[in-house]
């Protein structure tokens, strides 16, 4: 029997009471200070190309930059209610507003207007967490520049710092000018970002951000890009996804070499960290802040929706990039398949043989035509 108390703060990974007991205590603060325990590493080995895949990635990044201020059609009018109606029509051919029995739930007396408001709030919350996560990536990638010992990795990570700044910028502008505000940082996402920044080991920053957070983001952006009918958001996500695929590939390429030389004990620490990150990311998508804002009992609402077909499909798809990338790194099966067993408990192991991001990166890249006409 695996004990999870020390890893995730609760014994049962599905303990909703424990999940909801973790709350954001500084939601109204503008500044958040997180302790960074890492050493800054200089290298006097300037030999470029010692790791050809990283050099290739660096060259690709230099030619794939885009300008969020001028390359996106910000004059596009966004009528969010109309967008919700169009999205629903495209993605629900059966016409039903919900995919579960609402009898006996907090949603029993909800009207179409209530469901419309929920869709708008859910969209606002999701975009807000994307924005916060991108700032986490900005901080963590700057830390990678500071802490990784290889010059090729420092070069590439510097391009990702620019990418992440651009991502924060465009999500913040979209939320401000098109949706009229944003939700505070979700507490589970905040705790994960703190864990990543706190750790002194450079490879843990890679694992937490490049593999786990960025891997989930790439899957989530792809899902939203497929589901939305809003042209500005669709184009914004297309550009962001082209960057994110490089970012995840950067993590896989760097860690595959490093992890091959680690002991079983060292790998076990990385497996535990990956599992903790996976649970925190799953917990963040319960959207408790949305239900709270809409005035419905949060625990009852989450219990009603958390096992619905649409929610389960969405949450599982979020791991479609993480699991194959963990397999590529050799994390699934070391130490008697410890991480494999954990992903089985989370119900996401079925993605292990999907394409890892190093194999599919080119599919996400912007074409020359897109870069010229953007």
The answer to the question of residue 50 being in a domain is no
pLDDT given for residue 6 in this prediction: 85
C-alpha angle 362/163/52, rounded to 5°?
A: 50
What is the domain count for the chain? Answer: 1
Burial of 280 (0-12, 13-18, 19+ CB in 10 A): buried
The CA distance from 110 to 124, in Å, is 20
The answer to the question of residue 98 being in a domain is no
The answer to the question of residue 200 being in a domain is yes
Tell me the backbone φ, ψ of residue 15, rounded to 5 degrees.
-70, 100
The CA distance from 37 to 258, in Å, is 21
The answer to the question of residue 7 being in a domain is no
Prediction pTM value: 0.93
pLDDT given for residue 374 in this prediction: 42
Q: Give the domain CATH number at 175.
A: 1.20.1260.10
The CA distance from 227 to 239, in Å, is 16
What mean pLDDT, rounded, does the chain reach?
92
| pLDDT per residue as tens digits for the range 30-43 | 888 999 999 999 99
The answer to the question of residue 96 being in a domain is no
The answer to the question of residue 241 being in a domain is yes
Residue 322 belongs to domain spanning: 106-373
Q: pLDDT digit of tens for each residue in the chain (374 aa)?
A: 457 888 888 999 989 999 999 888 777 788 889 999 999 999 999 999 899 999 999 999 999 999 999 999 999 999 999 999 999 888 887 766 777 889 999 999 999 999 999 999 999 999 999 999 999 999 999 999 999 999 999 999 999 999 999 999 999 999 999 999 999 999 999 999 999 999 999 999 999 999 999 999 999 999 999 999 999 999 999 999 999 999 999 999 999 999 999 999 999 999 999 999 999 998 988 999 999 999 999 999 999 988 888 888 888 888 999 999 999 999 999 999 999 999 999 999 999 999 888 877 888 888 766 765 44
Of 8, 342, 360, 334, nearest in space to 215 by CA: 360
DSSP summary character for residue 296: S
The answer to the question of residue 179 being in a domain is yes
Question: Within a 10 A sphere around the Cβ of 372, how many other Cβ atoms?
Answer: 8
pLDDT given for residue 1 in this prediction: 44
Burial of 290 (0-12, 13-18, 19+ CB in 10 A): buried
pLDDT given for residue 356 in this prediction: 82
The answer to the question of residue 303 being in a domain is yes
Question: Within a 10 A sphere around the Cβ of 177, how many other Cβ atoms?
Answer: 11
């Amino acid at each position: 029997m695996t004990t999870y108390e020390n890893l995730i703060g609760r014994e049962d990974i599905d303990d909703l009471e424990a999940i909801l007991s973790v709350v954001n205590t500084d939601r109204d603060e503008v500044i958040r200070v997180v302790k960074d325990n890492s050493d800054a590493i200089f290298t006097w080995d300037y030999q470029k190309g010692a790791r050809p895949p990283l050099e290739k990635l660096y060259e690709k990044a230099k030619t794939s930059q885009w300008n969020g201020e001028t390359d996106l059609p910000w004059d596009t009018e966004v009528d969010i209610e109309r967008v919700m109606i169009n999205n629903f029509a495209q993605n629900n051919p059966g016409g039903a507003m919900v995919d579960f029995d609402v009898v006996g739930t907090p949603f029993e007396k909800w009207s179409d207007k209530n469901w419309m408001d929920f869709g708008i709030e859910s969209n606002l919350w999701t975009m807000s967490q994307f924005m916060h996560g991108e700032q986490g990536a900005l901080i963590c990638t700057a830390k990678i520049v500071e802490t990784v010992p290889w010059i090729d990795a420092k070069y590439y990570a510097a391009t990702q710092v620019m990418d992440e700044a651009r991502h924060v910028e465009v999500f913040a502008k979209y939320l401000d000018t098109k949706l009229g505000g944003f939700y505070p940082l979700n507490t589970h996402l905040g705790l994960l970002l703190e864990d990543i920044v706190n750790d002194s080991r450079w490879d843990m920053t890679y694992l937490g951000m490049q593999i786990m957070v960025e891997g989930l983001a790439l899957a989530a952006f792809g899902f939203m890009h497929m589901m939305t009918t809003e042209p500005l958001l669709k184009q914004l996500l297309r550009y962001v996804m082209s960057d994110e695929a490089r970012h995840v590939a950067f993590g896989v390429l760097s860690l595959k070499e490093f992890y091959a030389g680690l002991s079983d004990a060292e790998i076990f620490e990385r497996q535990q960290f990956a599992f903790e990150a996976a649970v925190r990311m799953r917990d963040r998508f319960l959207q408790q802040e949305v239900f709270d804002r809409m005035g419905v009992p949060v625990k009852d609402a989450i219990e009603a929706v958390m096992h619905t077909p649409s929610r389960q499909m969405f949450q599982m798809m979020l791991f479609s990039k993480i699991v194959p990338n963990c397999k590529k790194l050799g994390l699934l099966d070391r130490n008697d398949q410890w991480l494999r067993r954990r992903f089985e408990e989370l119900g996401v192991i079925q993605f292990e043989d999907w394409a890892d991001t190093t194999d599919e990166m080119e599919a996400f890249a912007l074409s020359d035509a897109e870069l010229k006409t953007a």
